Chains A and B, each alone.
Chain A
Amino acid sequence: MGFVPLLSVKEITKSFSGVLANDHINLDLFPGEVLAILGENGAGKSTLMKILYGFYRADVGSIYLKGAPIQIRSPQEARNYGIGLVFQDFVQIPAFTVLENIILFSPGLPFILNKKHLAKQITELSEKYDLRIDPYAPLQELSVGERQKVELIKLLLAEAKVLIFDEPTRNLAPHEIEGLFKVFANLGRDGYSVIFITHKLKEALECANRIVVMRQGRITGILSAQEASEEKLISLMFGETIIEFPFLPKARTIKASPPLLELKGIATYAEEKAGGLKDINLKVYPGEIVGIAGVAGNGQKEIGDVILGLQKCARGRKYLFGQEATNWSVARVRESGVVFIPEDPLTMAAFPWLTIQENMALSNTKKYSQGRGFFINWDAVRADLEKSLKRLGFKLPSFYSMLKNLSGGNIQRMILAKELAQNPKLILAFYPTRGLDVRSASAARELLLTYRNAGAGILFISEDLRELFALCDRLLVLFRGQIVGEEDPQKITFQEVGYLMTGGKYYEQSN
């Protein structure tokens, strides 16, 4: 490529308390290209982007914009240079409309706002890139994917030329991901440069013109879309070849024994509103993995809350291990042998301001207390945690450091280790591999299989159909709080499940 790069970084190095997060990074970004940055958790992708966006300053190295050296000292300056970041935890106000949210962000607007003109601009952009955003829609009615597009519009209105997306697909449904990639392509065609950060191979291959692979703070390879292949990328990411995950041996379901978990006609109070459950019937037998496929927000969280006893049922009954458990407390459910890996570990399972070992002790305070609770047996806590980490092949820094100092992936590892340490009989695994790199995810899956083979029951909730198909013995499909299908994953195709997930059958019935 002979022309001048839009943005280039030279010899960028950044370390955090002795750990090199970025090690002599050299990278060029050309106008109109979609550049994927691929790497496992902790490879330094996010650090590099935060340097470009002015959150961090590099220890060494320089940044050039169209060949001229620039200093990016704050996000403000980054935006002035035309570099924009699409936030993950969106900085948006749900009660406001799209238009109002965008106005709030936009600097340099006149004192008296011309709302109509701005709304027109939003509509134009929305049509141009097929974003389908109504400027007058209240933000709270928008899906995660749509909110992301609102963020993108903000940046386009602020005349950003470099658009950085940090793991934008994490919370998106499959069809939304496809839509996003189309937007990338259109943006590229109009001369914008897109940086797309991901740890998913397929996504990088699907949408990027060039793929940069990072490992342990270094760039290990830059491939064009033509040269790239899964095998090549994997070996660059890990330094060795690992197959993402093979189809795994199915268990013989032991339906002769009574189910570990049974939900009979469960409905929740919030049934009328979004997210309520309607007449849920499901059973989990010992030695099987029951998968629940569905786009997030169709009742997954509620199923977990009902099983765990956090949410009362309006109708229906719940049985655990053969006993009626409809009104059990959370403590009793957990003591009976149920563990829970929640969809959002940071808010639902982790205590960021406590140490790792304190977090571990909290998974089963009764077990680890001595003398009726007057003391805690920290040795037992550490021993259990170490054993569990070893089985998963995970490593964590000192058990005495606070959980908030861990990276997102490490927090997920910690939660997995802590929950699976309790010798569970029933595992509720909600998106257990979310945020994990390929290797950690496959270690977690294998451990789940080990538990299944030892006779535990697993309720496995995920959006990743490939994962569901590979792991599950039975597959249920959830849509709008109802189970709309129960299938054998070996006899059904992705397309059929996708059809059910997006409400195909539901609409068929109602018409």
Chain B
Amino acid sequence: MSKAIELKNSSFKKNLGPSLSRFFFLFSIAFVFFALILWIFGKNPFRAYVDIFLNTLGSTYGISETLVKMIPLILTALATAIPSRIWLINVGGEGQFHMGAIVATGVALNLNFLPGWILLPVLIISGFLGGGLWGMCSGFLRAKGWVSETISTLLLNYVAILLVSFLVFGPWKDPESANYPQTAEFGEAAILPSLGQSRVHLGIFLASAALCGFYFVMSRTRWGLEMRAMAANMEAARRNGIPLEKYFLILMLIGGGLAGIAGMCEVSAIQGRLRPNISPGYGYMGFLISWMAMGNPWGIVAAAFLLAIVTAGGDILQMTQGVTGSVVNILLALILFVVLARQGIIRGRK
């Protein structure tokens, strides 16, 4: 009986019903505006939405591709959501994603003699450490009180992305691939297996496990309680002996590490090698998803699903409607706008 009461009263768990309906109402606003824009440019918005729908959810292949996109989005969303539980603003998902990819690539290229059952776990760990230590740099600067993590994570993004370019144009460039800036292809053992014939790879289990772990830690454990206390009142948390600095470091490690795993999955399962432009902005979209969901695990799944469809929609519109694929950025911006407006409304009401 007491368990049931705890569930009901824990402030971490939210009432799902009304939040879901509000979620859909808000996004319909963004979609209506986007339809208006398409209509102004002489396109048929209904046709466009039907195309997007049919190509993403209308076939098994479409659904599997949506899932493929959801994996990195969920992981990068957690990269923001986890530190955000104690008001650390991690804008560095993109950089942590790239660092995970870099370290995993380094391991895959240099330890290619190992069998898959050893190499794959090592790859996952190296991806985690690559992104995690990158994130922890910002956590360290924040714990020392030197630099705001918002600024440092944002700036480190550019460093990580340029580092990828440096490596693929320079020391790691594959001599056999003519003039393409990319590394050699990974060995068979370094490829993260996929499910059946689809491109949906084992990363889906990693993402699901991370989501469940996040939910469990926040709602049940001592660490979750301490984190909620920090979010509620930093000063009192400090006086209760909660080691704030340790949390800054560890949460940035975990958050960055999950983004790093997303990067590792991308090079290991999708690309099979490191090259520039491995991310269409997964890190930033993860940030968007996290704020859309306000840290709620189910919200993260729902928002990642939506954004996976939207990003796929760009390519579809380019093919079927003859507009440039980046037109979906308008839709992304509209979604960001309604998300921020909603938060403004909530704050205003309080």
CB distance from B168 to the nearest CB of A (A): 42
Cα–Cα distance between A347 and B223 once the two chains are bound (Å): 21
Tell whether, in the assembled complex, residue B232 and residue A351 are in contact, meaning their CB atoms are under 8 Å apart. Answer: yes
Looking at chain B's contact residues, the main secondary structure is: helix
Does chain B have a CB within 8 A of A353?
yes
Interface residues of B in 220-247 (CB under 8 A from A): 220-223, 225-226, 228-229, 232-233, 235-243
Tell whether, in the assembled complex, residue A400 and residue B9 are in contact, meaning their CB atoms are under 8 Å apart. Answer: yes
In the complex, chain A residues whose CB is within 8 Å of the CB of B237 = 351, 362
CB distance from A2 to the nearest CB of B (A): 49
In the complex, chain A residues whose CB is within 8 Å of the CB of B11 = 353-355, 358, 402
Tell whether, in the assembled complex, residue A369 and residue B232 are in contact, meaning their CB atoms are under 8 Å apart. Answer: no
Tell whether, in the assembled complex, residue A374 and residue B221 are in contact, meaning their CB atoms are under 8 Å apart. Answer: yes
In the complex, chain A residues whose CB is within 8 Å of the CB of B222 = 365-366, 368-369, 373-376
In the complex, chain A residues whose CB is within 8 Å of the CB of B241 = 329-335
Take A365-B222, A373-B223 as given contacts and tell me if A354 and B243 are in contact as well, using a CB distance cutoff of 8 Å: no
Cα–Cα distance between A277 and B327 once the two chains are bound (Å): 62
In the complex, chain A residues whose CB is within 8 Å of the CB of B240 = 330, 334, 349, 362-363
Tell whether, in the assembled complex, residue B221 and residue A347 are in contact, meaning their CB atoms are under 8 Å apart. Answer: no
Tell whether, in the assembled complex, residue A374 and residue B220 are in contact, meaning their CB atoms are under 8 Å apart. Answer: yes
CB distance from B151 to the nearest CB of A (A): 25
Tell whether, in the assembled complex, residue A331 and residue B235 are in contact, meaning their CB atoms are under 8 Å apart. Answer: no
Counting chain A CB atoms within 10 Å of each CB, the highest count among B225, B229, B241 belongs to: B241
Does chain B have a CB within 8 A of A503?
no
Does chain A have a CB within 8 A of B197?
no
Interface residues of A in 451-509 (CB under 8 A from B): none
Tell whether, in the assembled complex, residue B9 and residue A351 are in contact, meaning their CB atoms are under 8 Å apart. Answer: no
Counting chain A CB atoms within 10 Å of each CB, the highest count among B228, B229, B243 belongs to: B229
Does chain B have a CB within 8 A of A242?
no
Tell whether, in the assembled complex, residue B236 and residue A358 are in contact, meaning their CB atoms are under 8 Å apart. Answer: no
Counting chain B CB atoms within 10 Å of each CB, the highest count among A333, A358, A361, A362 belongs to: A362
Cα–Cα distance between A353 and B236 once the two chains are bound (Å): 12
Interface residues of B in 305-332 (CB under 8 A from A): none
A side interface size, CB within 8 A:
36
User: What size tier do the contact residues of chain B reach?
Assistant: 20 to 34
Does chain B have a CB within 8 A of A82?
no
CB distance from A292 to the nearest CB of B (A): 19
Tell whether, in the assembled complex, residue A365 and residue B226 are in contact, meaning their CB atoms are under 8 Å apart. Answer: yes
Tell whether, in the assembled complex, residue B236 and residue A349 are in contact, meaning their CB atoms are under 8 Å apart. Answer: yes
CB distance from B157 to the nearest CB of A (A): 32
Give A298-340 as 1s and 0s: 1 = Cβ < 8 Å from B's Cβ atoms: 0000000000101000000000000000000111111100001
Cα–Cα distance between A400 and B11 once the two chains are bound (Å): 10
Tell whether, in the assembled complex, residue B220 and residue A342 are in contact, meaning their CB atoms are under 8 Å apart. Answer: no
Take A353-B11, A365-B225, A400-B9 as given contacts and tell me if A347 and B236 are in contact as well, using a CB distance cutoff of 8 Å: yes
Residue of B nearest to A354 (CB): B232
Does chain B have a CB within 8 A of A378?
yes
Cα–Cα distance between A355 and B243 once the two chains are bound (Å): 21
Chain B residues close to A by CB (< 8 Å):
2, 5-6, 8-11, 220-223, 225-226, 228-229, 232-233, 235-243
Pairs across A and B, CB under 8 Å, 17 listed: A333-B241, A347-B233, A348-B235, A350-B233, A351-B232, A351-B237, A352-B233, A354-B228, A355-B9, A358-B11, A358-B228, A362-B226, A362-B240, A375-B221, A376-B220, A400-B5, A400-B9
Known: A331-B242, A358-B229. 20 other contacts (CB 8 A): A331-B241, A347-B236, A349-B240, A350-B233, A353-B232, A362-B237, A362-B242, A365-B225, A365-B242, A369-B222, A373-B221, A373-B222, A373-B223, A374-B220, A374-B221, A375-B220, A375-B221, A376-B222, A379-B2, A400-B8
